[in-house]
Structure 1
Amino acid sequence: MQSVAADLDLHGYVFLPRHLQGEMSEEVAAGFGEMMTPWEGGLVQSLIPRARSTPNTYSGNFGLNPFPFHTDLAQWPVPPRYLMLRCVRGYRDVPTLIVDGHVLLQRLGTETLSRAVVRPRRPQAGQLRLLRLLQREESESLLRWDEVYLRPASRIGELAFVEMARCLRDASPKPLVMAEDGDTVIIDNWRMLHARPAIPRNRLDRCLERVYLRSLN
């Protein structure tokens, strides 16, 4: 765990090839930290490409097209700290793509992002809370980004959306290839943005399992 925590602190993610093959994702995640259930029955979520899916979801919005870069549950007041992705069925030509938020902060500046006020696209628990793209949480920086589920709520927020989109267009994403059973990635969701490329028609059985972690052990 010391090595995992050190790699997360240094790189924002850790990749563990063929980690504990044959073990259930819930058991693997419990070994890393405190698990979260973001919605009823959602402790372990199977991520399977779908041409059509439930409205107000990424698959419902984009189908088999590329997913934009985002942090998970960015519309929450405090999003999950980490997410674990575990390969059930993977392909080398359909990686998970990541961009380091520290690089984006260097380009955009912390002042702009910390002053950028945004709001969820839809009410959360009956409320439209105002949020900041960059905030302090538990003495650490929390970067949130989602062009689908967040909307600018201030002039600086509008400017930040334009600049963030420009930076992401110019970014050089790192591909995380999860192709073998048990390949596991843990991502710092307060720092790293991730995305998915387009899914070819012969890759529709790709399956990753996701578990959110509130903290590490």
Structure 2
Amino acid sequence: MGDRGYRKAGRRCRGKAHQARPVQKAVSDFKLTTTGIGTISELALLRDIGLTYNACAMTSEIAIDEGSGRSELRMLADLDGYVVLPGIAAGRPTDRVAEELGQVMLLSGGKLVQELTPKATSTPNTYSGLFGLDRFPFHTDLAHWLIPPRYLLLRCIRGYADVPTMILDGRAIASDVGADLMGRALVRPRRPRRGEVRMLRLRQSDGTDDIIRWDIEYLKPASHVGELVFSNFQNRVEEATPTAAVMVDDGDVLIIDNWRMLHARPAIAPNRRDRRLQRVYLRSLA
């Protein structure tokens, strides 16, 4: 089932209720006749009509929308703020998959792929050091940077359905708090970075998109408005209902828009301590 089949099924899906049967048949054909390979459009179709699937999106088949110039992957990320790609990295190294999906970022020390495993204790300047196996709070990664990474890619090595990555739409929360107030709210990193303490705003622009930064541990209010907005934002985070992004199989990949979405980790039970993810930061998507 190629892109043409997807577009046809999509038109049927938007039709009347009695036209749903051909869509089910088309999706069934996809599941039966492929060998676990589908385009991102097909994965989105399966997601939208609520079917369970376990397919691999071929990065070589990511199409570019001629009108917007954005790839299908970027459009999906823009739509929901995150994308789950089941099985896309199965049998393949994480660094190679990340390089195909976007422009990768090397952190200090030249490390591209980071290993994420639950730890009861760790260095005090990390979430594992602060929270151990307890729940991690909602945050955006590297919020204390002037320009944080745009996307983070999480690749599942060993996952569990009851230990998902929890996601909240930070841009929606910021809108509720007030975009102007968010832009005036000054915060500072908890610790100096490169010997310097730089004032930051909870909402800023890079010239094209808004950046929402949030980390209750590593950012501290630095003004009266900052204190009020910080408290208001945190209250709304605690009241919000998160989405669970589940990765279970080796090769499942989750991409999160780090300028928009907050993410968190549930507490780790004793029989889930072998959960293992790998993380890569991306400047942009392919």
Query: Shorter-chain TM-score: which interval?
Result: over 0.9
Residue number in structure 2 paired with 1:192 = 261
Query: Displacement, 1:42?
Result: 2.5
> 1:17-65: CA deviations, max 9, x gaps?
1113110110000001111112214310010000001111000000000
Check if 1:71 corresponds to 2:124: no
Q: Does 1:3 align with 2:68?
A: no
Match of 2:271, SS state, is helix
Deviations, residues 38-97 of structure 1 (Å, cap 9, x unaligned): 221431001000000111100000000000000000000000000000100000100000
Q: Looking at both structures, which has the greater relative contact order when contacts are Cα pairs under 8 Å and sequence separation is at least 6?
A: 1
Choose from 204, 212, 216 the match for 1:143.
212
Q: Name which one, 1 or 2, has greater alpha-carbon Rg.
A: 2
1:1-217 correspondence to structure 2 within 5 Å: 1=62, 2-217=71-286
Runs of 4+ in 1 over 6 A off after TM superposition: none
Q: Measure, in 2, the Cα distance between the counterparts of 1:207 and 1:32.
A: 21
Looking at structure 1, the residues matched to 127 and 112 of structure 2 have their Cα atoms a distance apart, in angstroms, of 18
> Which of the two has greater helix per residue?
2
One-letter amino acid of the structure 1 residue matched with residue 232 of structure 2 = E
Partners of 2:174 and 2:230 in 1: CA distance? 13
Q: Deviations over 1:121-160 (max 9, x none)?
A: 0001110000000001132100000001101000011011
Look up the SS of the partner of 2:138 in the other structure.
Answer: strand
Aligned residue identity for 1:49: P
Gap regions ≥5 residues in structure 1 = none
Segments of structure 2 that go 5 or more residues without pairing to the other structure are 1-61, 63-70
Percent pairwise identity: 54
Residue identity matched to 2:251: G
Superposition CA RMSD, Å: 0.9
Q: How far, CA to CA, are the matches of 1:188 and 1:138 in structure 2? A: 17
- Which structure dedicates a bigger proportion of its chain to strand? 1
Q: TM-score, normalised by structure 1?
A: 0.98
TM-score (norm 2): 0.75
